Amino acid sequence: MDTIQGLPTRDAYGKAIVALGEKNRNVYVVDCDIGKSCKTGEFMQTFPQQYVNVGIAEQNGCGLAAGLATCGKIPFVTTYAVFGSMRMLEQIRQEVCYPNLNVKIACSHGGFTPANDGASHQGIEDLGVLRTIPNMTVIAPADYHSAYALVKAAGADYYGPVYLRFTRDAVPFIYSEDDTFEIGKAKVLSEGSDITIISNGDILSRCVAAKDRLVESGISVRLLDMHTIKPIDREAVLDSIAKTRGIITVEDHNIINGLGSAVSEIVAEVGGCRVSRIGIQDQFGESAPYERLLEKNFITVDNIVETAMRMLK
């Protein structure tokens, strides 16, 4: 795939929380000692009284955030996806989601985007783990502009626990800064009548490229950005069942319990079409270039196109 100009979605997070802090002094950042990596430095400099670094102590950070939320604050706990979804999972469940507190878990290094950092830093299970917890909202923005808008929406207009997944490395621009986003509402990038492709996060750009190739071949493609995995936009999935002959889900996440599973649950309840899931093949990553990791798991433009062709036959 050709390189396309873009930025890491973690950069958008860093800018969005500053914008939130300027409008609401109840916005806090609880940093787990990785502010440089997660882009909280500008917030720390601008609002030092609203910034707390707990050190490498994610569970404590989550507990502190829960306490802040009981006092009317809007804390963003900031760490890596592997730690934010698993190391502090018990605290998220017991101290944040069970009492339904207004805490945001903002995590960089989602999926394979840490690449050469290896399996220990590649958060490939996070979305599935957290979507199983009651009261939790789970969001995976696809590019810089959507990440900026969704972080602001989560902090300004949306009450309750939210998990936000960002990328370490640059991902291509898909949207403009004028595009609008609603938590829980899929973004329809194109309408079509043959096949539906549903994706999110860093993989959406590959689905755009696959859609273009399929359209050139005479195939009509409905393309959805399902940035919110929970609550999933059920109506958008039902529309896809009604309008097209099959659904392909594509994600930078374990094939089990991620976006593909969420879509398949709806399809299994109502019937009407086939689903094919493209994603990480229930295996850990490794230290390797990002593109190589995707290829090893068949998360490629070629495979998306070939899968669509097979489904339509």
Q: What is the pLDDT of residues 127-154, one digit of tens each?
A: 999 999 999 999 999 999 999 999 999 9
Identify the domain boundary among 141, 172, 203. Answer: 172
Q: Strand, coil or helix: what is 182?
A: strand
Extract the tokens encoding 7.
């930025």
Same domain membership, residue 292 and residue 154: no
Same domain membership, residue 242 and residue 93: no
Look at the block and give the residue holding tokens 């403009």: 176
User: 248 pLDDT exceeds 60?
Assistant: yes
* Residue 202 belongs to some domain of the structure: yes
> 50, 27 in Cβ contact below 8 A?
yes
CATH number at residue 234: 3.40.50.920
**pLDDT tens for residues 167-220?**
999 999 999 999 999 999 999 999 999 999 999 999 999 999 999 999 999 999
Extract the tokens encoding 250.
């594509």
Same domain membership, residue 206 and residue 109: no
Measured CA distances, 220 to 233, 269, 303 (Å) = 22, 26, 17
pLDDT band at 1 (very low <50, low <70, confident <90, very high): very low
Same domain membership, residue 128 and residue 64: yes
Number of Cα atoms under 13 Å in the Cβ half of residue 164: 36
Residue 75 DSSP label: E
> 93, 121 in Cβ contact below 8 A?
no
Nearest to 184 by CA among 237, 131, 139, 245: 139
Look at the block and give the residue holding tokens 């430095």: 41
* Residue 178 belongs to some domain of the structure: no
**pLDDT tens for residues 44-77?**
999 999 999 999 999 999 999 999 999 999 999 9
Q: What is the pLDDT of residue 3?
A: 45
pLDDT band at 4 (very low <50, low <70, confident <90, very high): low
Mean pLDDT of all residues in 244-270:
97
User: 272 pLDDT exceeds 80?
Assistant: yes
Residue 85 DSSP label: I
The verdict on whether 191 is a catalytic residue reads no
> What single-letter amino acid sits at 286?
E
Angle formed by the axes of helices 234-243 and 259-270, nearest 10°: 60
Same domain membership, residue 205 and residue 307: yes
246 versus 313: the higher-pLDDT residue is 246
Average pLDDT, the chain: 96
Look at the block and give the residue holding tokens 């945001």: 104
* Residue 182 belongs to some domain of the structure: no
Beta-ladder partners of 258: none
* Residue 181 belongs to some domain of the structure: no
Nearest to 36 by CA among 19, 54, 14, 51: 14
Structure-derived torsion over alpha carbons of residues 144, 257, 184, 208, reported in degrees to the nearest 10? 50
Q: What is the pLDDT of residue 119?
A: 87
Domain total of the chain:
2
Same domain membership, residue 152 and residue 300: no
* Residue 57 belongs to some domain of the structure: yes
Same domain membership, residue 193 and residue 125: no
CATH number at residue 143: 3.40.50.970
Instruction: Spot the catalytic one: 58, 95, 125, 251.
Output: 58
The dihedrals phi and psi of 253, each to the nearest 5 degrees, come to: -165, 155
Identify the domain boundary among 149, 172, 195. Answer: 172
Same domain membership, residue 204 and residue 107: no
Same domain membership, residue 226 and residue 80: no
Mean pLDDT of all residues in 282-309:
96
How do 104-108 and 162-165 pair as beta strands?
A: parallel
Dist. CA 41–CA 78, nearest whole Å: 12
pLDDT band at 5 (very low <50, low <70, confident <90, very high): confident
Q: Which domain, by its residues, includes 275?
A: 187-312
